[in-house]
A and B are shown apart, each in its own frame.
Chain A
Amino acid sequence: MTGGGDEGDSVRDEFVAEAQEIIEALSRDLLLLDHGQKEGNPDPDLVNSVFRGVHTLKGIAGMFGFADLGEVAHVLEDLLDQLRLGRVELTQEVLDVLFEGVEVLQRLLSAGPEAPEADLDGFRGAVQAVLDLGEEAPSDFGAYDLDTGVLSVLTEYEEHRLRTNIDQGVPLYRLRVRFGLTSIDSDLEELKARAKPIAEIITYLPSMEGGDDDSIDLEVLLASRVDVAELRDALCTASDAELEPVGSRGAGASGHTMTPPPPDEPTTSHPPASPPAAPKRAEERTGAPPAPPRDVGADSLSVRSVAKTVRVDIGKLDHLMNVVGELAIIRSGVGRVLDRVRGNPEFRALATELHRIHRGFERHLDDLQDGILDVRMVPLGQTFDRLARAVRQVSREHGKDVRLQVSGADTEVDKLIVEELTDPLLHIIRNAIDHGIETSSDREAAGKPATGTLALNAYQKGNHVVIEVEDDGSGMDAERILASAVERGAITVEAGEEMQRPEKLGLIFLPGVSTAEAITDLSGRGVGMDVVKTHIARLGGVVDVHSELGIGTKFTITLPITLAIISALVVRVAGRTYCIPLTVVQEALVLDPASVRRVEGHEVITLRGATLPICRLDGLFGLQQPAGASPKEYVVVTSLGQRRLGLVVQGLEGQQDIIIKPLGKTLSDVKGFAGATDLGDQRVVLVLDAPSLLEEVLAGPEVRAAGLGATS
């Protein structure tokens, strides 16, 4: 009925996915450029790569009716072209505009082609402003002993690169090599690859002299800080290759050959390319060890471009996972048949054979499952890149000097989790920069380094991934949080008095609780921390906070690696079967009814000297015990961070790998279940959401009431 429309949609989805990838790559490259610019050696290849990305985006945006997107890409392309050719200098201001451009692209892409025409004038104005800063740089290489023949055929871009290298005092070399006519393409590529880590090839031309019918001499102009001998070793692999430095025509080039800078030179952060500047910079560099000419950015770029990848809709993977689930059910069916065949001595040989086949099937099924899970995994790096962009932006907005330290970007997490992680992490980071990290002057006054540090660490811990966001800012005031919570009526004064510091800090995850001094603080920290917690909890994770006044704050998010499959303990409660994720189970033991005591309304038992609160699931769920049930009960000890809770059940049925499937929206108001699963024997079984049970049972009635108040 809507076949044509669907097809159009899928093609457009494809475009959106591709555009998203390009935008992410742009943002990654810009961050590398930003880094390079701060270090003083931005990689020209990165500018090229950004230029190419924007160019591609412009092309495909037009085809899919994203007119605004194409327009912005076009404006950006112009700016990048000027940058590439050196007519505009790469400064923080220009980077700001480029970053803004990427934001605008992202926004337009999310809005879709039907969105009302966006107001792009502001952005166009910003681009124009930086374009106006640009000016024609001098174009005379008289100071160098360069062949005018070569100079006259330089492209604008090559000319710019040549000038930049001269400005930075990078020595120039002329390399003459002979290539066979038949292999010139591959030989040239090989030469470029060899030169890449140590030198920049500015241009190459067929030489006027030399060469014969089968070969051709190439004259290569290159710039390098590596010394001649090393360069010769690396590049002159063929015996007939010659390398010679390009000499200066008379040292201390006098100004007369170069155009003086225009008098109305606008203020840029870089010294302009004027004659006095160039030799001075060269002098500064003499004696210093040669700087590494390339950073890793260029290499990772080339890796990316050859990567063989396929984009897959996650729904398709879910479907495959369902099929694996069905196969697992078939497997246990075969297992049951096998048991019956085994029981019959007549069929012993048959049983052995069936057993072997069954084992093989099982092994391959496990492989298949692992394979599908592996496909779902993506590194956190993508998310971290987005966050790095946000850090840069937010810290500039707030006039804070913040350095971002990232570790563990290659830690892999389920794609679905990664998608859902950006928002909560962004929120924490915004808060850290806005409220945590102090201004440079405050920091110096407090004896801290002027630049604040925000650390983003990820690592795998068993079946979980831990993500930490740590700042070295002013820390959180537990008393103020408490006061705010009391003021909001989230807890009573008395309850607050009994709280330990970590518990008080934990109050920031309640709706409306804030660390801000007064309600006048509009951005108010805490507004939304409850949202962060809900977000993370929905992913089956937990978030904790540690903070020391004056030293800093650390948020720790612990997440399951995948949502798709978990090990679970199968238990029976009042004749019904439930699963408890094994990740939260510490141990299970027989309940001794005589050992149960009541403390403050909770039933507790003593386990190896420590008090353990317990919860009777049949009571909590309002289930009737079937008649004639065995009085024997068990305690499953679950834990979440430091907190523990014993769940009282009537039977333990063993351990099983299960695929958690979500409950429908109709049941979203039912607390305490993470989902449901098909056990092999056609039974649908609910999976307990241990963290939320722990929360529900252990939280005081006040907190519970506050939580309910927020959801209604």
Chain B
Amino acid sequence: MSGSGITRRDTVVPAAPSRSKEPARGHATRDFLAFGLAGERFALPLAAVREILKVAPITEVPRARPHVLGILSVRGRITTVMDLRRRLRMAPAGDDDKQRRILLVDGGQEVVGLLVDEVYQVYRLHEEEMELAAVVAGDLSEYVFGIGRPGTLDEEVEVERDEILILLDPEPLLKR
């Protein structure tokens, strides 16, 4: 899984290389795209992220569930856009935030747009840098599959310990 699956249009994402060491030592690694939501840091597997869009006018869909913002045409294809804050039962965002982006995420069944507050960077996480949800706590939502702690392997670099990532599983997240 290299990051080549991501195509950018109207993007301002620095696809910065991971601050972790090169994928050495024979450990399995996975790439994640980190983004912010109400002050917390989340991440989705990079392989599931198709595109990052600037926020465009969204057509609301009456009678859809509250977390559905509406629909958008991405090069002729009608795409549903969800408010990830509301999907995760967080407080709704304020209005004008230029940092907001729509992530086009493949949830297996279809590609859905997710509105996030801001997009940070791509992290390459080693196995040791991920804690699976089952280990962390039993009562996490089904769409959280673990916690990422980038940099814990790196003894030389001073790591900010609050830089943890909540790793989201796109499939349950986007299922109706």
In contact, B78 and A664 (Cβ under 8 angstroms): yes
Given A623-B62, A667-B64, A671-B63, also A676-B78 (CB < 8 A): yes
User: Which one of A45-53, A185-193, A552-560, A678-686 is at the interface?
Assistant: A678-686
Q: Which of A326, A666, A678, A684 contacts B110 (CB under 8 A)?
A: A666
Asked if B53 is an interface residue, CB under 8 A from chain A, the answer is: no
The 4 nearest A-B residue pairs measured at CB:
A621-B62, A322-B76, A664-B80, A684-B59
Chain B residues closer than 8 Å to A452, beta-carbon distance: none
Assembled-state Cα–Cα distance A623/B176 (Å): 23
Chain B residues closer than 8 Å to A297, beta-carbon distance: none
Q: How far is the CB of B81 from chain A (nearest CB, A)?
A: 10
Q: How far is the CB of A174 from chain B (nearest CB, A)?
A: 69
Q: How far is the CB of A148 from chain B (nearest CB, A)?
A: 74
The digit string for B80-124, where 1 denotes a CB below 8 A from any CB of A, is 101000000000000000000000000001101000000000000
The digit string for B55-74, where 1 denotes a CB below 8 A from any CB of A, is 00101111111001001110
The digit string for A622-639, where 1 denotes a CB below 8 A from any CB of B, is 110000000000000000
Given A621-B62, A667-B68, also A675-B176 (CB < 8 A): no
In contact, B80 and A666 (Cβ under 8 angstroms): yes
Asked if A576 is an interface residue, CB under 8 A from chain B, the answer is: yes
In contact, A676 and B76 (Cβ under 8 angstroms): no
Chain A residues closer than 8 Å to B60, beta-carbon distance: 576
Q: Which of B64, B78, B109 contacts A661 (CB under 8 A)?
A: B78
Assembled-state Cα–Cα distance A622/B80 (Å): 20
In contact, B78 and A673 (Cβ under 8 angstroms): no
In contact, B63 and A621 (Cβ under 8 angstroms): yes
Assembled-state Cα–Cα distance A576/B51 (Å): 28
Asked if B77 is an interface residue, CB under 8 A from chain A, the answer is: yes
Assembled-state Cα–Cα distance A670/B78 (Å): 15
Q: How far is the CB of A154 from chain B (nearest CB, A)?
A: 64
Assembled-state Cα–Cα distance A389/B160 (Å): 72
In contact, B73 and A678 (Cβ under 8 angstroms): yes
Asked if B79 is an interface residue, CB under 8 A from chain A, the answer is: yes
Q: How far is the CB of A205 from chain B (nearest CB, A)?
A: 66
Given A673-B61, A686-B71, 8 extra CB contacts under 8 A: A621-B63, A663-B61, A664-B80, A667-B61, A676-B73, A683-B57, A683-B59, A684-B72
In contact, A664 and B110 (Cβ under 8 angstroms): yes
In contact, B76 and A669 (Cβ under 8 angstroms): no
Which residue of chain B lies nearest to A319 when distances are taken between CB atoms in the complex? B76
Asked if B174 is an interface residue, CB under 8 A from chain A, the answer is: yes
In contact, B63 and A666 (Cβ under 8 angstroms): no
Assembled-state Cα–Cα distance A23/B125 (Å): 52
7 residue pairs A–B, Cβ–Cβ below 8 Å: A322-B77, A325-B76, A621-B63, A663-B71, A664-B110, A668-B176, A670-B63
Assembled-state Cα–Cα distance A125/B72 (Å): 59
User: Which residues of chain A from 657 to 699 have any CB-CB distance to chain B below 8 Å in the complex?
Assistant: 661-673, 675-676, 678, 682-686
A residues with a Cβ closer than 8 A to B are 322, 325-326, 576, 620-623, 661-673, 675-676, 678, 682-686
In contact, B76 and A326 (Cβ under 8 angstroms): yes
Assembled-state Cα–Cα distance A297/B77 (Å): 45
Q: How far is the CB of A410 from chain B (nearest CB, A)?
A: 33
Q: How far is the CB of A678 from chain B (nearest CB, A)?
A: 5
Assembled-state Cα–Cα distance A685/B71 (Å): 9
Chain B residues closer than 8 Å to A665, beta-carbon distance: 109-110, 176
Assembled-state Cα–Cα distance A124/B82 (Å): 56
B residues with a Cβ closer than 8 A to A are 57, 59-65, 68, 71-73, 76-80, 82, 109-110, 112, 174, 176
Q: How far is the CB of B172 from chain A (nearest CB, A)?
A: 13
Chain B residues closer than 8 Å to A686, beta-carbon distance: 59, 61, 71
Which residue of chain A lies nearest to B63 when distances are taken between CB atoms in the complex? A670
Q: Which of A664, A670, A678, A683 contacts B76 (CB under 8 A)?
A: A678
Q: How far is the CB of A142 from chain B (nearest CB, A)?
A: 74
Chain A residues closer than 8 Å to B71, beta-carbon distance: 663-664, 667, 676, 684, 686
Given A664-B112, A667-B68, also A675-B63 (CB < 8 A): no
Chain A residues closer than 8 Å to B64, beta-carbon distance: 667, 670
Assembled-state Cα–Cα distance A325/B76 (Å): 8
In contact, B61 and A670 (Cβ under 8 angstroms): yes
Assembled-state Cα–Cα distance A76/B133 (Å): 57
Chain A residues closer than 8 Å to B79, beta-carbon distance: 664
Assembled-state Cα–Cα distance A663/B78 (Å): 6
Chain B residues closer than 8 Å to A671, beta-carbon distance: 63
Most buried by A among B60, B64, B76, B176: B76
Q: How far is the CB of A680 from chain B (nearest CB, A)?
A: 12
Assembled-state Cα–Cα distance A661/B82 (Å): 19
Q: How far is the CB of B67 from chain A (nearest CB, A)?
A: 10
Assembled-state Cα–Cα distance A639/B79 (Å): 30
Assembled-state Cα–Cα distance A672/B61 (Å): 10
In contact, B109 and A676 (Cβ under 8 angstroms): no
Which residue of chain B lies nearest to A671 when distances are taken between CB atoms in the complex? B63
Which residue of chain A lies nearest to B111 when distances are taken between CB atoms in the complex? A664
Most buried by B among A325, A623, A663: A663
In contact, A675 and B78 (Cβ under 8 angstroms): yes
Chain A residues closer than 8 Å to B63, beta-carbon distance: 621-622, 670-672
Given A326-B76, A684-B78, also A622-B59 (CB < 8 A): no
In contact, A666 and B76 (Cβ under 8 angstroms): no
Assembled-state Cα–Cα distance A620/B62 (Å): 9
Assembled-state Cα–Cα distance A685/B58 (Å): 10
Assembled-state Cα–Cα distance A639/B65 (Å): 29
Q: How far is the CB of B156 from chain A (nearest CB, A)?
A: 34
Chain B residues closer than 8 Å to A669, beta-carbon distance: 65, 176
Q: How far is the CB of A277 from chain B (nearest CB, A)?
A: 66
Q: How far is the CB of B19 from chain A (nearest CB, A)?
A: 27
In contact, B72 and A666 (Cβ under 8 angstroms): no
Assembled-state Cα–Cα distance A623/B59 (Å): 13
Chain B residues closer than 8 Å to A684, beta-carbon distance: 59, 71-73, 78
Chain B residues closer than 8 Å to A322, beta-carbon distance: 76-77
Q: How far is the CB of B64 from chain A (nearest CB, A)?
A: 5
Assembled-state Cα–Cα distance A686/B71 (Å): 9
Assembled-state Cα–Cα distance A676/B110 (Å): 16
Chain B residues closer than 8 Å to A623, beta-carbon distance: 62
In contact, B78 and A666 (Cβ under 8 angstroms): no
Which residue of chain B lies nearest to A617 when distances are taken between CB atoms in the complex? B62
Which residue of chain A lies nearest to B64 when distances are taken between CB atoms in the complex? A670
Assembled-state Cα–Cα distance A667/B57 (Å): 18
Q: How far is the CB of A617 from chain B (nearest CB, A)?
A: 9
Q: How far is the CB of B22 from chain A (nearest CB, A)?
A: 22
Q: How far is the CB of A368 from chain B (nearest CB, A)?
A: 16
Q: How far is the CB of A323 from chain B (nearest CB, A)?
A: 8
Q: How far is the CB of A2 from chain B (nearest CB, A)?
A: 13
Which residue of chain B lies nearest to A663 when distances are taken between CB atoms in the complex? B78
Most buried by B among A326, A623, A661: A661
Which residue of chain B lies nearest to A618 when distances are taken between CB atoms in the complex? B62
Assembled-state Cα–Cα distance A325/B77 (Å): 11
Q: Which of B57, B68, B78 contacts A662 (CB under 8 A)?
A: B78
Assembled-state Cα–Cα distance A134/B76 (Å): 62
Q: How far is the CB of B113 from chain A (nearest CB, A)?
A: 10
Q: How far is the CB of B65 from chain A (nearest CB, A)?
A: 8
Chain B residues closer than 8 Å to A663, beta-carbon distance: 61, 71, 78, 80
Assembled-state Cα–Cα distance A685/B72 (Å): 9
